[in-house]
Amino acid sequence: MSILANKDTRAVIIGGVAGVNAAKRMAQFDFLVNRPLTVQAFVYPPEAGQQKEIFRGGELKNVTVYDSLAPALEEHPDINTALIYLGASRAAQAAKEALESPNIQLVSMITEGVPEKDAKRLRKLAQKLGKMLNGPSSIGIMSAGECRLGVIGGEFKNLKLCNLYRQGSFGVLTKSGGLSNEAMWLCAQNGDGITSAVAIGGDAYPGTDFVTYLEMFEKDPATKAVVMIGEVGGNLEEEAAEWLAAEPRRIKLIAAIGGTCQEVLPQGMKFGHAGAKEGKKGAGSARSKMNALRDAGAYVPDTFGGLSKEIKKVYEELIAAGEISTEIDEAVLPELPPSVQEVMKQGEVIVEPLIRTTISDDRGEEPRYAGYAASELCSKGYGIEDVIGLLWNKKLPTREESEIIKRIVMISADHGPAVSGAFGSILAACAGIDMPQAVSAGMTMIGPRFGGAVTNAGKYFKMAVEDYPNDIPGFLSWMKKNVGPVPGIGHRVKSVKNPDQRVKYLVSYIKNETSLHTPCLDYALEVEKVTTAKKGNLILNVDGTIGCILMDLDFPVHSLNGFFVLARTIGMIGHWIDQNNQNSRLIRLYDYLINYAVKPEQEVPEKK
């Protein structure tokens, strides 16, 4: 037997993430005692319509989230219990609705920090409706072998250690979550375990009091004794003492009361629980509570440390009186199926990875780029050019190299609105498209005719250096035969007479201000001499220059176009922002810009 929760308990959880986590813990208990899922539904409007995945052992169950209580109860008529996991500002309203729902008999509030007035109103409402309100600030309710409401009982291992898979003879009542666990552990260690444990919450005005539950335990034939853990403040413990003394009781009461230290502490000192607040001697003090309980016939140790002995003593008395049988049916308990992660950690299974990565790792406190912590790079003065080196080439560039990379990015960042990439972004911006899509519209323009020659230029000049050293005619004829025009050579508007200043600057910077060894660039410049002799605009263009320099910097050939993509993204974002700032109108091509080279008007023939 149990109180409050049993095999027939079916619950709805009102609340978000914390509620789902509780449901997962509850499902572990369901699995341990082989009962169906306790949680049947969630109510949480922001996630209405979703399914939450809950494992009951190895079985995956889906529990629906509803936007309000009514449809949840309609679809799950078995629900008789509600657990409130909402924040303090919304919890009271949810608890009220739950109490007012005809099928729900028990509402347990986990929420902490519920205003006292709200808690008092709920208590009054519950009394009026003849329902049970547990909490607020309750860790939950545990009925050994039958039902777990909330995270009470802790992790799976602890459920077994505290014998919570089967019924014992002790009831547990506490105000505190941690101590309910401790008390259940003490009952398992010094006795035969518990029937039910209820954490009523540490607030000043909880929905129910100790006496309510003592009455229930008294009526439960399986409960032979109750371990009650009280504390300074309020008068729930005095009420319990009065109840105990009022008539002969079948159950025994063992009680520990916290807060005697207050006798020597500064007056008014506040403890963790809102209810534990009175600093006065006399009524409400821990000492007076202990005395009242002792006078009423309870077993009250001086300190918490003495609780074990009292429980043991009572257990032995109950055995001696024949109230408890010492025969215990030790069931074979299931093991919670381990997750893949756990099994892997034990080294008992090998999983082939799905992808492999070699550049960065975000599993620690912060991302590491090729092993270097991002914040450390920042704090030691490294720049974005060094991050490019790490993520694209897995190498930290030298200072000279990073200065070159920085210049390449700066020089390629933008080239006006007329080129196809910028125009694509502008067109999209004018059509009201959001930034990422507009920028990617410009990005799709990058190809062999616009900015996409960097990779191939680098690739073929590198090949030339290796296969055609000192043989430019041989290289050019191979290219003509196998590739076509040399990537990186030629410009639409620039020529020998009208040189590209970006190319001139880069070449001069590298030659005059760095010590970079530049076989590719040198080769390309020699090629340029040959090609410009044929035609003035067959100059080494910016793509070609960058491609050669990057090969000379030893970047992987696949990364080369990336420099243009990265750099030009800066410009495209700029164009998008610019167009939006100006509130640009939609672009539509004028008729006179189009040659309508179509057939003249003709009648549509009848469809055959």
Partner 1 sequence: MAKILEGPAMKLFNKWGIPVPNYVVIMDPDRLAQLGEANKWLRESKLVVKAHEAIGGRFKLGLVKIGLNLEQAIEAAKEMLGAKVGTAEIGQVIIAEMLEHDAEFYVSIIGNKDGAELLISKHGGVDIEDNWDSVRRIQIELDENPTIERLTELAKDAGFEGEIAERVGKICSRLILCFDNEDAQSIEINPLVIRKSDMRFAALDAVMNVDYDARFRHADWDFKPVSEIGRPFTEAEQQIMEIDSRIKGSVKFVEVPGGEIALLTAGGGASVFYADAVVARGGTIANYAEYSGDPADWAVEALTETICRLPNIKHIIVGGAIANFTDVKATFSGIINGFRESKSKGYLEGVKIWVRRGGPNEAQGLAAIKQLQEEGFDIHVYDRSMPMTDIVDMAMKS
Q: Is the preceding peptide bond at 605 cis, omega within 30 degrees of 0?
A: no
362 is an interface residue for partner 1 by CB under 8 A: no
Judged by DSSP in three states, 335 sits in coil
Residue recorded with tokens 């990422």: 436
Q: At its nearest, how many Å lie between partner 1 and the CB of residue 48?
A: 24
Neighbours of 3 (CB within 10 A): 23
Nearer to partner 1, 263 or 466 (CB): 263
Q: Which stretch binds partner 1 (CB under 8 A): 267-275, 444-452, 489-497, 561-569?
A: 267-275
Q: At its nearest, how many Å lie between partner 1 and the CB of residue 261?
A: 4
Asked if residues 112 and 137 have their Cβ atoms less than 8 Å apart, the reply is yes
Q: At its nearest, how many Å lie between partner 1 and the CB of residue 362?
A: 19
Neighbours of 160 (CB within 10 A): 16
188 is an interface residue for partner 1 by CB under 8 A: no
Which tokens sit at 348? 């008992």
Which tokens sit at 11? 């619950």
| Identified binder of partner 1 from the candidate list 182, 238, 385, 543, rule CB under 8 A | 182
Helix (H) or strand (E) holding 329: none
Which tokens sit at 106? 């028990």
Nearer to partner 1, 118 or 386 (CB): 118
- Site residues for partner 1, 210-229, by CB under 8 A, read 229
517 is catalytic: no
Q: At its nearest, how many Å lie between partner 1 and the CB of residue 151?
A: 5
Q: At its nearest, how many Å lie between partner 1 and the CB of residue 343?
A: 17
Q: Which stretch binds partner 1 (CB under 8 A): 100-108, 268-276, 341-349, 582-590?
A: 268-276
- Site residues for partner 1, 74-113, by CB under 8 A, read 88-89, 112-113
Instruction: Compute the half-sphere exposure of residue 439: CA atoms within 13 Å on the CB side of its CA.
Output: 18
Residues 6+ apart with CB under 8 A from 113: 88, 137
266 is an interface residue for partner 1 by CB under 8 A: yes
First to last CA, the chain: 83
Nearer to partner 1, 58 or 268 (CB): 268
Asked if residues 237 and 230 have their Cβ atoms less than 8 Å apart, the reply is yes
- Site residues for partner 1, 234-263, by CB under 8 A, read 256, 258-261, 263
In whole angstroms, what is the distance from residue 240 CA to residue 249 CA?
Answer: 12
202 is an interface residue for partner 1 by CB under 8 A: yes
- x/- contact string, 32-71, with partner 1 (CB under 8 A)? ----------------------------------------
Q: Is the preceding peptide bond at 136 cis, omega within 30 degrees of 0?
A: yes
Nearer to partner 1, 153 or 421 (CB): 153
Bridging pattern class, strands 140-143 and 147-150: antiparallel
Nearer to partner 1, 54 or 114 (CB): 114
| Identified binder of partner 1 from the candidate list 175, 368, 494, 502, rule CB under 8 A | 175
Backbone angles phi, psi at 196, to 5 degrees: -130, 155
Nearer to partner 1, 28 or 456 (CB): 28
Which entry of 76, 273, 491, 575 is annotated as an active-site residue? Answer: 273
- Site residues for partner 1, 273-332, by CB under 8 A, read 273-274, 276-277, 286, 302-305, 308
Nearer to partner 1, 36 or 306 (CB): 306
Q: Which stretch binds partner 1 (CB under 8 A): 120-128, 439-447, 471-479, 557-565?
A: 120-128
Nearer to partner 1, 248 or 272 (CB): 272
Nearer to partner 1, 114 or 144 (CB): 114
Bridging pattern class, strands 106-109 and 132-134: parallel
- Site residues for partner 1, 434-453, by CB under 8 A, read none
Q: At its nearest, how many Å lie between partner 1 and the CB of residue 297?
A: 23
Q: At its nearest, how many Å lie between partner 1 and the CB of residue 241?
A: 17
Q: At its nearest, how many Å lie between partner 1 and the CB of residue 154?
A: 5
| Identified binder of partner 1 from the candidate list 134, 174, 195, 456, rule CB under 8 A | 174
The one-character DSSP state at 283 is: T
347 is an interface residue for partner 1 by CB under 8 A: no
Judged by DSSP in three states, 532 sits in helix
In whole angstroms, what is the distance from residue 51 CA to residue 62 CA?
Answer: 6
Nearer to partner 1, 150 or 171 (CB): 150
In order, the DSSP letters of 163-205 are: TTTS--SEEEEES-HHHHHHHHHHHHHHSS-EEEEEE--SSSS
Site size for partner 1 (CB under 8 A): 63
Nearer to partner 1, 219 or 309 (CB): 309
Q: SS3 for 197-247, per residue?
A: EEECCCCCCCCCCHHHHHHHHHHCCCCCEEEEEEECCCCHHHHHHHHHHHC
Q: At its nearest, how many Å lie between partner 1 and the CB of residue 94?
A: 15
Q: At its nearest, how many Å lie between partner 1 and the CB of residue 89?
A: 5
Asked if residues 36 and 67 have their Cβ atoms less than 8 Å apart, the reply is no
Instruction: Tally helices (H) and strands (E) across the chain.
Output: 22, 16
Angle at 416 between CA 413 and CA 419, to 5 degrees: 95
336 is an interface residue for partner 1 by CB under 8 A: no
Q: SS3 for 289-301, per residue?
A: HHHHHHHCCCECC
In whole angstroms, what is the distance from residue 54 CA to residue 179 CA?
Answer: 28
* Bridge partner list, 60: 55
Residue recorded with tokens 């076989």: 519
Distances (CA, A) of 345 to 28, 332, 341: 21, 26, 6
267 is an interface residue for partner 1 by CB under 8 A: yes
- Site residues for partner 1, 126-165, by CB under 8 A, read 139, 151-155, 158, 161
Q: At its nearest, how many Å lie between partner 1 and the CB of residue 121?
A: 6
From the CA atom positions of the chain, what is the Rg in Å? 39
185 is an interface residue for partner 1 by CB under 8 A: yes
Q: Which residues are catalytic?
A: 273
Footprint of partner 1 on this chain (CB under 8 A)?
21, 25, 88-89, 112-118, 120-121, 123-124, 139, 151-155, 158, 161, 174-182, 185, 202, 205, 229, 231-232, 256, 258-261, 263-274, 276-277, 286, 302-305, 308
